[in-house]
C-alpha cells in the first residue's frame, strides 16, 4: 500500500492514486506525485524498522463507505 497511503492522514484508498497520470490525491487535500508518495512511505517503514519494529507494514482498514 506504499503508493496508496496518504503520508498526512494515513488513509489507504486505491482510488487516491492515478497511475496513468502519476498523481496522488487524498480526500484530506494532500496531493503529490504517486512515486514520491511511495518513496515517502517506504522511508517511513524503514524508520519503523530501524526503531525496532521487525515487521513494519501498513494494513488497509475497510471503511464504512466501501
pLDDT digits (tens, 9 = 90+) for 10-19: 999 889 998 8
The owner of cell 471503511 is: 63
Taking the CA atoms of residue 44, residue 49, residue 51 and residue 54 in that order, the dihedral angle to the nearest 10 degrees is 140
Query: Does 23 fall in a domain?
Result: yes
Query: Does 41 fall in a domain?
Result: yes
Query: Does 44 fall in a domain?
Result: yes
Query: Does 34 fall in a domain?
Result: yes
Query: Does 55 fall in a domain?
Result: yes
pLDDT of amino acid 64: 55
Domain that holds residue 51: 1-61
Percent residues over pLDDT 90 in the chain: 62
Q: Say how many domains are in the chain.
A: 1
pLDDT confidence band for 33 (50 / 70 / 90):
very high
Query: Does 66 fall in a domain?
Result: no
Query: Does 31 fall in a domain?
Result: yes
Q: SS3 of 12, please?
A: strand
Q: How many CB atoms lie within 10 A of CB 18?
A: 11
Amino acid at each position: 500500500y506504499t503508493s496508496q497511503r496518504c503520508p498526512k492522514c494515513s488513509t489507504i484508498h486505491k482510488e487516491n492514486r492515478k497511475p496513468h497520470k502519476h498523481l496522488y490525491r487524498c480526500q484530506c487535500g494532500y496531493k503529490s506525485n504517486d512515486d514520491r508518495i511511495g518513496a515517502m512511505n517506504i522511508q517511513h517503514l524503514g524508520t519503523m524498522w530501524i526503531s525496532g519494529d521487525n515487521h513494519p507494514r501498513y494494513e488497509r482498514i475497510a471503511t464504512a463507505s466501501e
